[in-house]
């Protein structure tokens, strides 16, 4: 997991572009919520294209 995070950070650091990450443990945080509805609400978030 750490390798993936570092790989995501590197291009942004070189170009001085901010990178925002959010890690959510969906199983523990939302174990009683319908996951299909949850993903419709969470993704795509603000600033993310729908493609």
pLDDT digits (tens, 9 = 90+) for 1-51: 788 888 989 988 999 988 888 887 777 766 677 878 878 877 776 666 665
Residue 31 lies in a domain: yes
In a domain, 51, yes or no: yes
pTM more than 0.75: no
Residue 49 pLDDT: 61
Is the residue at 14 inside a domain? no
Please choose, from the candidates 22, 24, 14, 15, the residue with its C-alpha nearest in 3D space to the C-alpha of residue 46: 22
**Are 21 and 5 contacting, i.e. CB atoms less than 8 angstroms apart?**
yes
Domain assignment present for 4: no
Q: Is residue 1 included in any domain, yes or no?
A: no
Q: Is residue 45 part of a domain?
A: yes
Whether 30 and 39 have beta carbons less than 8 Å apart is answered as: no
């Amino acid at each position: 997991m750490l390798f993936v995070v570092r790989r995501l950070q590197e291009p942004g650091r070189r170009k001085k572009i901010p990178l925002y990450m959010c890690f959510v443990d969906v199983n523990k945080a939302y174990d009683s919520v319908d996951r299909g509805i949850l993903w419709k609400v969470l993704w795509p978030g603000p600033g993310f294209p729908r493609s």
